[in-house]
Amino acid sequence: MYKKLFNLMVLMISVLTLNLLTSFITKQIINYKSDINPYKFTGIAMLTLVFILVPAYSYMKIKIELLVARVLVSGSNSFGKTIGLLFSFTLIFGILFSIYLNQWFGINLLEVLKTKR
């Protein structure tokens, strides 16, 4: 049970983190559009994204999975197997939640929590 839960958590965090990184790269490429024909720009940008993101994804996927696994294992070692795993996952997921909330809606979760006190 623990191994399945661990693998699921690594997968979830890895996918969310890789999505953030690839979104950032995509946004940077799209910001370069100027007075170029939209049809040409779209084709060129799509090809560029494929040539940049495929190798980047392959490289980042391995590194992020390794990092997430290490963090989850260290949490398990610090607080006990199951509680440490859940605590580490909750912490990482909370950080990613805050980043996504800011990116999608412009809401700073820390500021919101400060004003609630």
Q: Which tokens hold the place of 26?
A: 């995509």
Q: How far apart are CA 34 and CA 30, in angstroms?
A: 9
Residue 30: strand, helix, or coil: helix
Query: What is the residue whose two structure tokens read 């919101």?
Result: 112
- The tens digit of pLDDT for each residue in 94-110 reads 999 999 999 989 999 99
- The tens digit of pLDDT for each residue in 23-74 reads 888 888 788 776 778 888 888 888 887 888 788 778 877 888 888 888 888 8
Q: Domain boundaries in the chain?
A: 2-116
